[in-house]
Amino acid sequence: MAETKKKYIITVNRQFGSLGRPAAEKAAELLGIEFYDRDIVERAAKSANISVHEASELDEKPASFFRMQYPLGMGPMGSQDAVFKAQRQFIIDRASVESCIIVGRCSDFILKDMPDLLRLYIYGSYQHRLSNCVHDLHMENKDAMRMIRSVDKARDKFHQEYAGYLPSDRDHCDVQLSSDGLTVDELAAMIAQIAKVKFGLN
């Protein structure tokens, strides 16, 4: 009888510019498992019956963000909640049937009761992340500074609103990794090694 492969899930929260996303994608390749990030947005858009562009605009932004912009109740708050519900269902569906790495979108909270779960948080110093944005993402310095502030703030508020805690909360995270001084490949190798140790993988 063929040996059944162990199923496990890795969720990755990350600061903007920390290399968390590309490292998570590379780690999935090293482990030979699926990787989900943009796919979640595209599937959620289809389920919520809205365009991928609109779903991307709503992605990982708190409903309170839209309440501030549309105080009289107009605007995309309903769509935002619909997108989150669709993302949640997609995350649960995939995690139920296969090993995978899932980036952001409160996946650590959504899957908190899932067996064989590893919750990671990737962070970096401000200067390190700024350098990554300028050199790896080819952003202008002022644009990188603005994006670091705005994206981190939006992700934190989104996570706080839907999960009830910040993505960096140590009580809801198994391992926190600083990407300072590491390449994408080095960070990915660390993620893969942690998974192998935790889940007893060969």
Q: Tens digits of per-residue pLDDT, 32-91?
A: 999 999 888 887 777 777 777 777 777 766 654 434 343 333 344 457 788 888 899 999
* Apex 87 CA angle, 84 and 90, nearest 5: 150
The tens digit of pLDDT for each residue in 118-168 reads 999 999 999 999 999 999 889 999 999 999 999 999 999 999 999 999 999
Domain ranges of the chain: 9-192
How many other C-beta atoms can be found within 10 angstroms of the C-beta atom of residue 94?
20
Beta carbons of 192 and 141 less than 8 angstroms apart: no
**What is the value of pTM for the model shown?**
0.87
Tell me the two tokens of residue 2. Answer: 């063929």
Fold of the domain spanning 9-192: Rossmann fold (3.40.50)
For residue 20, give the nearest of 171, 175, 150, 161 by alpha carbon.
Answer: 175
